[in-house]
Amino acid sequence: MTDRDSDGSELDAVRDALAEAAGDAGPADTDDGEHDGTFLVTHADDGSAVLRDVDSGRVYTLSSNPGVAEGEAVEGVVAPDPPMNVSWQLVEVEERRHIAIEESEEPPTRRSLDLAADQAVGELTRTERAGTGEIHVISVSEDDTDQAVADVLDDADTGRTRAARLGVNRVEIRSAPGVVAVRYMP
């Protein structure tokens, strides 16, 4: 197999196989290569931006920045830039929101504390919030509580990705000795 095939069919087959193995439909998500979804802006400057699909993890490098900022969630449509289709354009925006990540002075709720008491150190329980969102309760050793909070804050992309997937705007971290509660809220 070479990339010199006159019709390119073998090379296309390899590209399709690689895209399928990656769990991604590739540029042919629609007939014209457009892909719609919810994206996290992981990098943005004056000339370009990088979006990551919060469901598939696929990364889209935009050839220009249409005004998005790092840390935003964007629901919209990206389309490949012709003729090479290696960079993308954000061609439609349905919704845009910044996702804040912050540590709260408030302690975890009684419910979070009760959940943590029923699980071993290192375990995580996911539970729905009253209303929209969810709460992740993590049991840690009391000596490691501050470091666990710092780890959650340092991994802002993961928190923002989860928040974008849930359709919420804020990630709040509450803690008490031995307990970290990560709250995904509107």
Q: What pTM does this model have? A: 0.78
Domain spans, the chain:
9-98, 100-185
Q: Which two tokens stand for residue 186?
A: 């509107």
pLDDT at 23: 46
Q: Which two tokens stand for residue 155?
A: 């991994």
Among residues 86, 85, 91, 102, the alpha carbon closest in space to that of 68 is found at 91
What kind and span of H or E run contains 19?
helix 9-21
Could you count the other beta carbons within 10 Å of the beta carbon of residue 46? Answer: 7
Q: Which two tokens stand for residue 83?
A: 């003729």
CA distance 59 to 45: 16
Protein fold of 9-98: OB fold (Dihydrolipoamide Acetyltransferase, E2P) (2.40.50)
Give the helix, strand, coil percentages of the chain, each rounded to 5: 25, 35, 40
Task: Yes or no: say if 113 and 145 are a contact pair by the CB < 8 Å rule.
Answer: no
Predicted confidence pLDDT, tens digits, the chain (186 residues): 444 344 555 555 555 555 554 444 443 355 578 999 999 999 999 999 999 999 999 999 999 999 999 999 999 999 999 888 899 999 999 999 999 999 999 999 999 999 999 999 999 999 999 889 999 999 999 999 999 999 999 999 999 999 999 999 999 999 999 999 999 999
Q: Which two tokens stand for residue 172?
A: 């709040």
Strand order in the sheet with 124-128: 100-103, 170-176, 179-185, 134-139, 124-128
